Amino acid sequence: MAKYRKLGRTSDQRKALLRSQVTALLYKGRIITTEARAKEVRKIADGLIALAVKEKDNFETVKVTAKVPRKDKDGKRVKEVVDGKKVTVFDNVEKEVKKDLPSRLHARRQMLKVLYPVKEVPTTTAGRKKGTKQVDLVAKLFDEYGPKYASRNGGYTRIVKIGPRKGDAAMEVVLELV
């Protein structure tokens, strides 16, 4: 008996499809897909959330000093002339940073093997490129989903059938986080 569904695709296509659907599910909270795909995506997503629940508190906070460039009211770096050259002015800032312990770092890297990078693009057309920012899905798993599902023993996703698809009559479902 097979351990997974082949979904009518080669292994690299199947892996890419499942990775993209798991990423979309964890980013948006729900996706619409076929029943067979949903059952495969559910296995992967539940495993990632279980990992996040297990390692959610496994870090230490560390104070670090960072050099940050001083900025003016327009957000541009302040420069001063030193020995005939324009040099950026830096300020020392104390920050508290989360430092992962080894097992959490390993879990983070396991998650990054599965998840694709997500970019959040603003809906307004003005300043689209400037407003684009990278979403840290692994941090979302640890900080949001870890505490949310801490009291739950598995079963982090739900599959709801919504009927056959018009083109090929494949059963479509909504896969959502509980």
**Structure confidence at residue 129 (pLDDT):** 76
d(Cα 160, Cα 169) in Å, to the nearest integer? 16
166 by DSSP, 3-state: which?
Answer: coil
Instruction: Give CA–CA dist 42/176, Å, rounded.
Output: 9
Cβ contact 22:137 at 8 Å: no
pLDDT score recorded for residue 53: 97
User: For the whole model, what pTM was predicted?
Assistant: 0.85
Task: Please give the Cα distance from 167 to 94 (Å, whole number).
Answer: 58
- E strands of 37-156, at which residues? 59-69, 79-82, 85-88, 90-100, 118-120, 133-135
pLDDT digits (tens, 9 = 90+) for 97-148: 999 999 999 999 999 999 999 999 888 776 677 778 999 999 999 999 999 9
Confidence (pLDDT) at 103: 96
Give me the residues of the chain with pLDDT under 70, please.
1-2, 126-127
pLDDT of residue 82: 87
Instruction: Please state, in angstroms and rounded to a whole number, the distance separating the CA atoms of residues 75 and 68.
Output: 13
The residue written with tokens 């990992």 in the block is 51
Q: Map out the domains of the chain with their CATH numbers.
A: 11-58+101-177 (3.90.1030.10), 59-100 (no CATH)
Rounded to the nearest 10°, the torsion over CA 141, 143, 148, 149 is 50
